[in-house]
Amino acid sequence: GNSVTQMEGPVTLSEEAFLTINCTYTATGYPSLFWYVQYPGEGLQLLLKATKADDKGSNKGFEATYRKETTSFHLEKGSVQVSDSAVYFCALYSGTYKYIFGTGTRLKVLA
Amino acid sequence: NAGVMQNPRHLVRRRGQEARLRCSPMKGHSHVYWYRQLPEEGLKFMVYLQKENIIDESGMPKERFSAEFPKEGPSILRIQQVVRGDSAAYFCASSPTEGGRGNTIYFGEGSWLTVV
C-alpha cells in the first residue's frame, strides 16, 4: 500500500543553519506530494507541493523536488529562523481522496 | 473567503460522555474529510463525506464514532461514550471536488479533544 516515511525528530538547529528533512514514499502510479507545517496549537498549513516528477515546490524559502527515481521529496531551507520552529509533515495523494501523512518531524531553531 | 471552520477548538469530556465536533467547509466546497492526529503521530484518515452521503468511512472505528454532512449545516463528527484513547486532535478538511491529481485539500485549525 501507499506510505510515507519521514526522518525522526526532533531536529535542533541554530538560526541561519541549513535544513534538510528527509521524506521518502511508496506509491503506485504518480502521486502528488506535499509538505504541511503545523505550528504549536494550530492546524496544518500547506507549505508546498509538487504534482509530477522533477517538479520543484517552493514557498517561504523552503523547497522540495519530486524525485521519482529515488521516491523522495526532501524538504530544504538554506537559512532557518526561530519562527520556522514547528512540526513538518510530508504527505502523499495518489488519487483515491485519501492523503497519507508521515509521522511528522519536529524542528526546533535556537537563536 | 473564510477558511475551514471547526468548533470547538478545545473540548474536555469525562469518560462516558459524548463529544460533538463541527466543521464548516470553505464556501463552495462540498467534499469534507475528517482526520485524527493522536499524540506524537501523523494524521490518519477517518471518513470522507459529500453532502448527505458518506463516501468512505474505512478509517473510522467501528463503534462509538459516526459522521454526517447534512444538506444544510456543518459536518458533525460524533463520538459516543468517549474513552481516554479518544484524546486527540481532530482535523477537518474540505475541497471543491473529490481530491484529484494536484488538488489541494484545505484543513481547519482542528478540534483538540481531551478525555479525563
Residue A44 has pLDDT above 90, yes or no: no
The answer to whether B90 faces chain A, any CB pair under 8 Å, is no
* Residue B57: predicted pLDDT: 93
Structure confidence at residue B101 as a pLDDT band (50, 70, 90): very low
Contact B10/A at CB under 8 A: no
Model confidence over B54-63: pLDDT tens digits? 999 999 999 9
- B48-67 mean pLDDT: 93
Segment B76-105 shows an average pLDDT of 85
* Closest by Cβ to A42, choosing from B43, B105, B109: B109
- Cα separation, B83 vs A58, whole angstroms: 41
Over residues B80-99, mean pLDDT: 90
Would the CB atoms of A43 and B110 count as touching at under 8 Å? yes
pLDDT score recorded for residue B35: 95
pLDDT at B88: 95
Q: What is the pLDDT of residues A45-84, one digit of tens each?
A: 899 999 889 999 999 999 999 999 999 999 999 999 999 9
Condensed to tens digits (0 to 9), the pLDDT of residues B68-80 reads 999 999 999 999 9
Q: Which stretches of A1-111 are assigned E, i.e. beta strand?
A: 3-6, 11-14, 19-21, 23-26, 32-38, 44-50, 56-59, 62-65, 75-77, 86-93, 99-101, 105-110
Residue type, B115: V
Q: In this predicted model, which residue has the larger pLDDT, A77 or A44?
A: A77
The pLDDT, as a whole number, for residue B102 is: 54
Whether B2 shows a pLDDT value over 80: the answer reads no
Residue B104 pLDDT level (bands cut at 50, 70, 90): confident
Tell me which residue in A32, A34, A42 faces B101 most closely, judged by beta carbons.
A32
Amino acid B100: pLDDT: 43
| List of chain B residues whose C-beta atoms are within 8 Å of the C-beta of residue A36 | 107
Phi, psi of B86 (to 5 degrees): -80, -10
Q: Could you tell me the three cell numbers for A86?
A: 514547528
Residue A22 predicted with pLDDT over 60: yes
pLDDT above 90: residue B3? no
* Chain centroid, CA A45 distance in Å: 12
Q: How far apart are the C-alpha atoms of A14 and A3, rounded to whole Å? A: 31
